[in-house]
Amino acid sequence: MADGGTVRRVEAVPAGHWVPGSQILWRYRENAGAAFHIARPVTVVRDDDELLAVWLAPGTECVKPVLADGTSVHLEPLESRYTKPRTVQRDRWFGTGVLKLARPGEPWSVWLFWEPGWQFKNWYVNLEEPLTRWSGGVDSEDHFLDISVHPDRSWHWRDEDEFAQAQRDGLVDDELAERVREAGRAAVEVIRAWGPPFSEGWQHWRPDPSWDVPLLPEDWDRTPAHVSS
């Protein structure tokens, strides 16, 4: 970390990119509002016109949504999970780290997971709004539906029940639901063709051992002017 316990930032401009080792925020907005309810400090692995790759290190302090009484969202029955009042809390990213890959303008990002000892587990296609960039990081909105992709190239849909419930609860309207399904179908075509990033060997990547774990800044929820997508 930088001197004084602050997050090391490298400012981005519309035509620029972060250099490897820069520490930025990867955030998600609420599905029924403009506030942010997920914030994860990450380290930039690669950033260019083709790809943004970031590393979420084990033990990173993050922000996550919880029910107003502090109950984990995923412990709440699905029927009331999205209608009960919520708040946010700070927590740690436990377990192994996550490598996140996003192509500019694409309505999903691809996450890589490992078991302890760097045994590769799977790719995870997170369907979401295309990332928008600002000086301190990237923002998006999660779209509930996801795809799990395994080392043998097999795949399956995930969280279809959550996607359906979000539609029933008014968090996803018909137009958005069709956009999400279309994005999912496009992602499946990439998987079937074994295109990037699945074909690029990212499962063999390892983080630079000199990187510090980024700190969560106090102003993690500030609303910036977005500079590019």
Burial group, residue 78, by CB count within 10 angstroms (0-12, 13-18, 19+): middle
The answer to whether residues 144 and 158 touch, using CB atoms and an 8 Å cutoff, is no
The answer to whether residues 41 and 216 touch, using CB atoms and an 8 Å cutoff, is yes
Tokens (6 digits) for 68:
């107003």
Conformational region of residue 183, where left means phi above 0, alpha means psi within -120 to 50, and beta covers everything else: alpha
Q: Is the dihedral of CA 221, 168, 158, 189 positive or negative?
A: negative
Give pLDDT tens digits along the chain (229 positions).
333 333 344 444 445 899 999 999 999 999 988 899 999 999 999 999 999 999 999 999 999 999 999 999 999 999 999 999 999 999 999 889 999 999 999 999 999 999 999 999 999 999 999 999 999 999 999 999 999 999 999 999 999 999 999 999 999 999 999 999 999 999 999 999 999 999 999 999 999 999 999 999 999 999 876 566 5
Q: Where are the domains of the chain?
A: 3-204
pLDDT at res. 6: 37
98: DSSP letter? E
The answer to whether residues 138 and 40 touch, using CB atoms and an 8 Å cutoff, is no
pLDDT at res. 16: 84
The yes/no answer on whether domain 3-204 falls in CATH 2.60.120.1440 is: no
pTM beyond cutoff 0.85: yes
The answer to whether residues 141 and 135 touch, using CB atoms and an 8 Å cutoff, is no
- The string over 156-195, giving b where at least 16 C-beta atoms fall within 10 Å of a residue's C-beta and e elsewhere, is eebbeebbebbbebebbeeebbebbeebbeebeebbeeee
Residue 223 CA neighbour count, 13 Å, CB half: 6
pLDDT at res. 227: 61
Backbone angles phi, psi at 180, to 5 degrees: -65, -45
Whole-angstrom distance, CA of residue 74 vs CA of residue 30: 16
pLDDT at res. 33: 84
The answer to whether residues 142 and 128 touch, using CB atoms and an 8 Å cutoff, is yes
pLDDT at res. 226: 59
